Amino acid sequence: MKQTKLVEITDIEKQKAILEEAGRIIRDGGLVVFPTETVYGIGANGLDADACRSIYVAKGRPSDNPLILTVPDEEGARQAAAVIPPTAQKLMDRFWPGPLTIVLPRKPIVPDAATGGLDTVALRCPDHDICRAFLRCAGVPVAGPSANLSTRPSPTTAEEVMHDMDGRVDMVIDGGPCHIGVESTIVECNGDDGVTILRPGGVTIEMLQEVVPHVRLDTTLVTGKGVPKAPGMKYRHYAPSAPMTVVVGPVDKVTEKLQALYDQAKGEGKTVGFLVSEEVGASFPHKDMYIWGRHGDKEALANQLYTGLLSFDSDKVDVILAEGIDDEGLGLAIMNRMKKAAGGHVVIVG
């Protein structure tokens, strides 16, 4: 078991030596957890096959699941990408740094262990100053999937990271809470000056449509069938310890349905946890309840979703009843995560 060093970064310049140490750990083949604007990532040298494989071991993640390589800027992307087509350049100009991952043809220097054996590589430049300072110190593209055990909710604080990763990584950089809370959008570029969304995230369909004329959803997102081509989409993911049901609709209808589910669970002698808005939560006992914000506030739900799910690891319950949201805008990413966390148990009421 590794001795994990936890460091809090509050001043990049004054604490540059710590970031340089983290960079050395990466270049030497070690593992460093780092903050981003979306979730915390577990980092390894993305050009070192053995280092990439150590991520799979730390996470308990299948090795055919590709990794995202994080870079501090466009120049960093050129270390790994064989070509950056015009559409990808437009996206970088508009959304980097930010929560957008772009799938591009890879250079031979990028190992199969980073791509899941694909001939493409997923690249992103996070919108987080501490993260990009760390990446510059590393000097190589850093493979950075979410810093959680495979299938579990992604961490948005260093405390949540330590729950899963203490003893599994060399260092954890605490850069404060992540402000978006769901992972990046992943896209691949098409030949018609358009993109296909492989995983919804912090950059919405509407935002992409402002830059490129054609935006499609990958067929596996629409049908739920086939083999996903994006990191984090191939296997069960984001799941809390207890089974969860998600209900979507107006406050009164959601409350009514959750009441029926609550009564059923209590009748079976089960303890119930609630992941709901303030308005819906007002109708239920506040024991084992996580309020994520006001009804309809997608930014609040995205920001609090994983923390809410993880809270039920400490507040042990038999069943989780959750309130979802419509799938417009950021809601597409939120409901993608909630559906996976609930194993598809989503009820629409209206």
Interior angle at CA 309, CA 282 and CA 115, nearest 5: 150
Rounded to an integer, what distance in angstroms lies between the CA atom of residue 338 and that of residue 346?
8
Q: What is the phi-psi region of residue 277: left when phi exceeds 0, alpha when psi lies from -120 to 50, beta otherwise?
A: beta
Backbone angles phi, psi at 176, to 5 degrees: 90, 175
Helix axis angle, 129-138 to 16-27, nearest 10°? 50
Which residues are annotated binding-site positions for ATP?
Answer: 61, 65, 120, 146, 154, 199, 238
Dist CA 344 CA 42 (whole Å): 27
In angstroms, rounded to a whole number, what is the distance separating the alpha carbons of residues 160 and 189?
34
Label residue 7 exposed, middle or buried (CB < 10 Å: 0-12, 13-18, 19+). middle
Annotation: binding site for L-threonine? 38, 124, 184
Annotated binding site: 38, 61, 65, 120, 124, 146, 154, 184, 199, 238
Q: Which residue has the tokens 């966390």?
A: 341
Q: What is the dihedral of CA 175, 74, 331, 159, to 10 degrees?
A: -20
Interstrand relation of 68-70 and 142-143 (parallel, antiparallel or unpaired): antiparallel
Cα–Cα nearest to 331, from 298, 292, 294, 297: 298
In angstroms, the CA 248 to CA 280 distance is 11
C-alpha distances in Å from residue 116, one per residue of 68, 95, 224: 10, 26, 21
- Which burial class, exposed, middle or buried, applies to 50 when counting CB atoms under 10 A from its CB (0-12, 13-18, 19+)? exposed
